[in-house]
A and B are shown apart, each in its own frame.
Chain A
Amino acid sequence: MIVPLPRFKPLWIFLGILLLPWVIEGLLGRGWVRILDFALLSVLLAVGLNIVVGYAGLLDLGFIAFFGVGAYAYALLASPQFGLHWPLWAILPTGVLVAASFGVALGWPTLGLRGDYLAIVTMGFGEIIRVFLNNLTAPVNITNGPQGITMIDALHLGTWSFARPHRVLGLPLPALVGTYYLFLLFVLLALFLSRRLEYSRIGRAWMAIREDEIAAASMGLDTRRLKLLAYALGAVFGGVAGGLFAGFQGFVSPESFTLQESVMILCMVVLGGMGNLRGVVAGALLLAFLPEVLRPLGGWQQHWFHRVLIDPSTLRLLLFGVTLVVLMRWRPEGLLPSRARAREWHTS
């Protein structure tokens, strides 16, 4: 089956994406540009998880752990914790390597087995990594326990810091907008890689495994190695996003890497449409902005009922759960599915 690559997007869409942070800053204020930056990291994570869940059809419930590994790698290599201040181009590959090794170490024993074992093992791993992050303080204080690591170096390339405003060609470039462009670059790279993978031999092999693993193995595919590759590549994306997150936020603590976050990213992928990049990006953006949309709810409840009946963060997590259940029941292919994937869901 020959799948044509999509035509080059019209220039104006690209321009719109470039101008987006300026528009948002003008209309909604600087705080929303920050949220937009975090949303791009969510897109990066969702694109990574999509390789595992969408392409290879494996359920990974501990994806946030790789994000955590990447974040802590950055935090340890660029903060006063060990007095190390590595540059970004050295940290990211290191973080990626560490995240991928974790992925392989975890995937190897499980991926030869039935697919559903992976789900529970990854779920456990996501929790165990937090136990380590919380406790690796003796004999050498590595992670600084529940307090986390602070004073992490800001993202910078050479002398160009992304935490400071700049002037480019006489125009002011706020720090948050500069960061937006950096993250955008990573997202575009991730989308490009992901797209190329999807239509490669490897991508087709993943889809064959997803549709019918036994049939795929009978055709001579080394399913275990292919699944491991998908799993490790997902970890790589997670690791990169984690590194960027640590540098952007300036501090990391174990509490950022809970099962709820893993479920949120899964929800982004499932809502948009597993296996379809456009859907995954849309799902990620939609859910990344959800907490901000729900935030005023607390105030309204306070105003109308004089007390907060439903905590906005509880409501958000409840919505994630309901979304997953409802989608699987009535629209498993997601809101913006790929045609092949939609057929797959409805013929079996």
Chain B
Amino acid sequence: MVTFLQQVLNGLTLGCIYALVALGYTLVYGILELINFAHGDLVMIGALVSLSLVRILLGWGAPLPVALAGGLVGAMGACVLLGIALERLAYRPLRHAPKLAPLITAIGMSMVLEQSSALLWGRGYRSFPDLGLTHSLTLGGVLISPLQGVIVLGSLGLLGSLLWLIQRSALGRAMRATAQNPVAAQLQGIDTERMITLAFVIGAALAAVAGLMVGAYYQVAHYTMGFMLGLKAFTAAVLGGIGNLSGAVLGGILLGLLEALGAGYLGDWTGNLFGSNYKDVFSFATLILVLLFHPSGLLGRHAPEKV
């Protein structure tokens, strides 16, 4: 039972991070029907920028909260700027090109971001400064680190306010209208290009937060870390129903739980033959199964292809 609760807690932590990243995919996909392959790499950039900033600020003798806040703000700034640049320079000129063009551009941009980071931060693993937040408390046998608490509560707060923004505010309504039908939205006086940029901005900001969290959680950052994370977050978005925001959150948390429990138990059941070294396979198998049996996802509507 204790193991189970422990895995649930670990899965929840992971799931919250997935949810933050999944939202970026789903926001952009909902409007542009484009898989932004470079999104995972924004998370990586967020992790590396915040890592460097926190290290520098701590080096100057700044107290931990100030250093963390500085890292977060810096990472968000960098990611948002990159997100806007990505949209303006790479995707916008291809708005009316055949479907293949933006997809190829997306993979190209992902490559550019990865290799530029390799140039800036080197090809090795960078260790995250010790935040002193990992000394675990025991709660009924379950180990909880303050960091896990911060990640879960912080991301749930962020996700909640984002859902409120999209579902309740005028801006959110404009965004949803753009996703539903860009031409009709434009006729209502909505600046759809601005809404598209906004989708990228929100996605990039969330990616920065997720980057800081994932870097602090695993205490390591690497220029290729965005790839697997992005793939899993995309799986989460598809699992929840791509284009659906609550779906992305639900999918992210479910996928995190699935992965933690799968990695925790499958090894025991199969005598460690098929254990946590296969954990990356779980999310992929989930993606295939969802696409096979219920491609519109848990909360998504079935959307016929637009002509």
User: Quick one: given A113-B295, A116-B35, A318-B115, are A324 and B227 in contact (CB under 8 Å)?
Assistant: no
Question: A277-315 toward B: CB 8 Å interface, digit per residue (1/0)?
Answer: 000000000000000000000000000000000110011
Residues B17-51 near A (CB distance < 8 A): 33-35, 37
A45 close to B (CB within 8 Å): no
B2 close to A (CB within 8 Å): no
Residues A237-280 near B (CB distance < 8 A): 259-260, 263, 266, 270, 274
User: Quick one: given A138-B273, A311-B123, A325-B109, are A128 and B284 in contact (CB under 8 Å)?
Assistant: yes
B103 close to A (CB within 8 Å): yes
Q: Is the CB of B97 within 8 A of A348?
A: yes
Q: Is the CB of B231 within 8 A of A321?
A: no
How many residues on the A side are at the interface (Cβ–Cβ under 8 A)?
52
Residues of chain B within 8 A of A55, CB atoms compared = none
Residues of chain B within 8 A of A321, CB atoms compared = 108-112, 114-115
Residues of chain A within 8 A of B187, CB atoms compared = none
Residues A136-175 near B (CB distance < 8 A): 138-139
A5 to chain B, nearest CB (A): 27
Closest to A110 in B: B291
Q: Is the CB of A109 within 8 A of B104?
A: no
Q: Is the CB of A214 within 8 A of B99?
A: no
Q: Is the CB of A116 within 8 A of B227?
A: no
A201 to chain B, nearest CB (A): 23
Task: From B133-141, B160-168, B275-283, give the one contacting chain A.
Answer: B275-283
Q: Is the CB of A318 within 8 A of B111?
A: yes
Question: A125-138 toward B: CB 8 Å interface, digit per residue (1/0)?
Answer: 10110011011001
Residue among A57, A124, A322 with max Cβ neighbours from chain B (10 Å): A124
| Contact pick for B94, options A109, A274, A329, CB 8 Å | A329
User: Quick one: given A120-B234, A138-B273, A332-B97, are A263 and B111 in contact (CB under 8 Å)?
Assistant: yes
Q: Is the CB of B107 within 8 A of A324?
A: yes
Q: Is the CB of B35 within 8 A of A314?
A: no
B228 to chain A, nearest CB (A): 7
A348 and B102 alpha carbons, distance in the complex (Å)? 14
Q: Is the CB of A127 within 8 A of B231?
A: yes
B184 to chain A, nearest CB (A): 21
B98 close to A (CB within 8 Å): yes
User: Quick one: given A120-B231, A124-B231, A321-B111, are A266 and B104 in contact (CB under 8 Å)?
Assistant: yes
Residues of chain A within 8 A of B295, CB atoms compared = 113, 117
Residues of chain B within 8 A of A124, CB atoms compared = 231, 235, 284, 287
User: Quick one: given A124-B284, A325-B105, are A314 and B118 in contact (CB under 8 Å)?
Assistant: yes
B100 close to A (CB within 8 Å): yes
A86 close to B (CB within 8 Å): no
B272 to chain A, nearest CB (A): 8
Q: Is the CB of B115 within 8 A of A314?
A: yes
Residues of chain B within 8 A of A332, CB atoms compared = 97-98, 101
Residues of chain B within 8 A of A123, CB atoms compared = 37, 231
Residues B264-307 near A (CB distance < 8 A): 273, 277-278, 280-281, 284, 287-288, 291-292, 295, 305, 307
User: Quick one: given A121-B287, A128-B281, are A345 and B97 in contact (CB under 8 Å)?
Assistant: yes
Give the interface SS of chain A, mostly helix, strand, loop or mixed.
helix
Closest to B295 in A: A113
Q: Is the CB of A324 within 8 A of B104?
A: yes
Question: B65-104 toward A: CB 8 Å interface, digit per residue (1/0)?
Answer: 0000000000000000000000000100110111111111
B116 close to A (CB within 8 Å): yes
Residues B110-134 near A (CB distance < 8 A): 110-112, 114-116, 118-119, 123
Q: Is the CB of B277 within 8 A of A135?
A: yes
Closest to A348 in B: B98
Q: Is the CB of B93 within 8 A of A329?
A: yes
A115 and B295 alpha carbons, distance in the complex (Å)? 13
A96 close to B (CB within 8 Å): no
Q: Is the CB of B291 within 8 A of A320?
A: no
Residues of chain A within 8 A of B116, CB atoms compared = 318
| Contact pick for A317, options B115, B278, B284, B305, CB 8 Å | B115
A329 to chain B, nearest CB (A): 6
Taking beta carbons and an 8 Å cutoff, which residues of A are in contact with B? 53, 57, 59, 61, 106, 109-110, 113-117, 119-121, 123-125, 127-128, 131-132, 134-135, 138-139, 213-214, 259-260, 263, 266, 270, 274, 310-311, 314-315, 317-318, 320-325, 328-329, 332, 344-345, 348
Q: Pick the 8 closest A-B CB pairs, nearest first.
A: A324-B108, A321-B111, A321-B112, A109-B292, A318-B115, A325-B108, A328-B105, A321-B108
Taking beta carbons and an 8 Å cutoff, which residues of B are in contact with A? 33-35, 37, 90, 93-94, 96-105, 107-112, 114-116, 118-119, 123, 227-228, 231, 234-235, 238, 273, 277-278, 280-281, 284, 287-288, 291-292, 295, 305, 307
Known: A114-B305, A320-B108. 11 other contacts (CB 8 A): A109-B291, A110-B291, A113-B291, A117-B238, A117-B295, A132-B281, A311-B119, A315-B115, A321-B110, A321-B114, A325-B109
